[in-house]
Amino acid sequence: MKNKINIYLVEYAINAILRQKYKSLFIVTIFTLLTFLLTSVFFITNSIRYELDSTVDALPQIIVQKIKAGRHYDIDVNLVDDILGISGVNDAVARVWGYYYFENARVNFSIVGIDKYEQQYKNSFTNLVKDFDFDDINGTATMLVGSGVKRTMQSNYYKEFFNFIKPDGTLKKVRIAGIFDGDTELESNDMIIMSKDLFREIFNFEESKATDIVVKVANPEEIATVVSKIKLMFPDTRIITNHDLKVSYQNIFDYKSGVFLVLFIVALFTFFIIIYDKSSGLTSEEKREIGILKAVGWTVDDVLKEKLYESFIISFFSYIFGVGLALAYVYIFQAPLISNIFSGYSQLKTSFELPFVFDFQTLFLIFFLSVPIYIAAILIPSWKVATLEADEVIR
């Protein structure tokens, strides 16, 4: 009997919200905005982290680069055979890849050359060479492009063909044969794939050289051993493992989200001061109302329950509303403004789609950061007034 929800208190709470139209509207607006911003940032960081993780996971275990005068230099293709001879090595492939700066749009495209007779170092490539023929058809070179590249080219009126400017200034016309879908959006978005021969032609790249060599090790435990063996055999190389890359990617990302977190803690704080100021500093009428309720027989419990319902309804509604807005903003509208700050770790990358990563933990976190704090900000001052002698309050 005592624990039954008192419907009259609930009605009173709803009535109280409606009676204070402007105040309620103000609080709902601020509260919704707050949850919206917080949720958006969490959604975006989660999505990007997810992309990043899958990108890093798809990276080769070991990359071998040639270093000359402290700089990354083209590596001899012959090294592949020597590396294959190291025990524990499953496979080694010479890669040719690079960046092409597209002046009109001021973006960099990543260009990868692949050879269909080679073992591919990426799953997505293996499928590609099965389905697609990179050989020149009727004397025209072809390539596949990522969706971001496609958009960029299209908006610069390259619909079917694209003209690369070669090092000697002459043009190379290449047909855009289709869209390439990689393992992750982040990776494939700014990527162009073509045959190694075409790549060498566009960049005037020597036949006997490659950009780097990727090495596959059967047992991940042996990566360190293989790395030291390669280092011993070829002292003029730099060896990067996917673990190293993961750390550096993570550092950049964590730095950015750290900056954001600080900004948002400041914002959160400000919002709560505003809300606290507007809602908890009880006006004399509100105090009087509590006094009257006590005078006509409400207990402190009744008053607090009513305030609890009132603040819960307001804050929960705002929370749901804010989360809904954030969902729409991030996943339907692709988070204009905020996402750029995060995605630009290569400043010139073309924009990409945020994958939908729904994370209940985040939603819980934001819920517990906002709703109970707001409720407490309402209940504590009400409790203070409700425990005073009624006579003092209504006099």
Partner 1 sequence: MIELKNIRKIYEANKFDRVTALDNINLTVQEGELIVLKGASGSGKSTILSLIAALSKPTSGEVIVDAKQISKLSDNFSSVYRRDNIGFIFQKYNLIPTLSVKDNILLPLVSLNPHAKEVEEKIQSVMKRFHIEHKENAIVRNLSGGEQQRVAIARAYVNNPKIIIADEPTANLDEKLSHHFIDILRELKALNKTIIIATHDPLFFGLDFVDRELEIHKGKIVL
Ligand X SMILES: Nc1ncnc2c1ncn2[C@@H]1O[C@H](COP(=O)(O)OP(=O)(O)OP(=O)(O)O)[C@@H](O)[C@H]1O
Applying CB under 8 A, the residues found at the interface with partner 1 are 4, 6-9, 12, 15, 19, 288-289, 291-302, 387, 389-392, 394
Give min distance, CB of 147 to partner 1, in A: 57
The site partner of 292 among ligand X, partner 1, none (C-beta below 5 to 8 Å per kind) is partner 1
- Name which of ligand X, partner 1, none residue 298 binds, using a CB cut-off of 5 to 8 Å depending on partner kind: partner 1
- Residues 264 and 365: beta-carbon distance below 8 Å: no
Nearer to partner 1, 70 or 297 (CB): 297
Do the beta carbons of residue 220 and residue 62 sit within 8 Å? no
Choice between 201 and 302, CB closer to partner 1: 302
For the record, the structure tokens of 346 come out as 């290569």
Quote the crossing angle between the two packed helices 360-386 and 242-279, to the nearest 10°.
20
Smaller CB distance to ligand X: residue 14 or 292?
A: 292
Q: State in angstroms the smallest separation of the CB of 383 from partner 1.
A: 11
| Residue 391: CB minimum distance to ligand X, A | 7
**Dist CA 371 CA 268 (whole Å):** 13
Sign of CA dihedral 302, 303, 307, 313: positive
* Residue 130 site contact among partner 1, ligand X, none (CB < 5 to 8 Å, cut-off depends on kind): none
Which residues does 23 contact at the CB level (< 8 Å), separation at least 6?
278, 279
Return the beta strands (E) in the chain as ranges.
Answer: 62-68, 71-73, 75-76, 89-102, 107-114, 141-145, 161-165, 171-179, 191-195, 209-210, 212-217, 237-241
CB of 284 to ligand X, least distance (A): 15
Q: Which residue is nearest to ligand X (CB)?
A: 395
Q: Which of 2, 71, 130, 395 binds ligand X (CB under 6 A)?
A: 395
Q: DSSP secondary structure string, 278-346?
A: HHTS--HHHHHHHHHHHHTT--HHHHHHHHHHHHHHHHHHHHHHHHHHHHIIIIIS--TTHHHHHHTTS
Segment 333 to 392, residues that bind ligand X, using CB under 6 A: 392
Kindly state the smallest distance separating residue 317's Cβ from ligand X, in Å.
39
Among 159, 62, 152, 60, CA closest to 100: 152
Interacting partner of 296 out of ligand X, partner 1, none (Cβ under 5 to 8 A depending on kind): partner 1
Q: Which residue's CB is nearer to partner 1, number 165 or number 313?
A: 313
Q: Considering CB distances under 5 to 8 angstroms, the limit depending on partner class, which of ligand X, partner 1, none binds residue 15?
A: partner 1
Contacted by 390, from partner 1, ligand X, none: CB < 5 to 8 Å by type? partner 1
Total number of residues that touch ligand X (CB under 6 A): 2
Q: Which is nearer to partner 1, 10 or 165 (CB)?
A: 10
User: Binding partner of residue 295 among partner 1, ligand X, none, CB under 5 to 8 Å per kind?
Assistant: partner 1
Length of the chain: 395
CB of 379: closest distance to partner 1 in angstroms?
A: 16
User: What's the CA gap between 353 and 276, in Å, rounded?
Assistant: 38
* Residues 198 and 140 sit within 8 Å (Cβ to Cβ): no
Residue 4 binds which one of ligand X, partner 1, none, with CB within 5 to 8 A depending on kind? Answer: partner 1
Direct distance between the N- and C-terminal alpha carbons of the chain, in angstroms, rounded to an integer:
34
Residues 6+ apart with CB under 8 A from 366: 35, 38, 39, 42, 319, 323
Residue 392 CB, nearest approach to ligand X (Å): 6
- The smaller minimum CB distance to ligand X, of residues 11 and 391, is found at 391
Query: Binding of ligand X at residue 21 (CB under 6 A)?
Result: no
Which stretches of the chain bind ligand X, using CB under 6 A?
392, 395
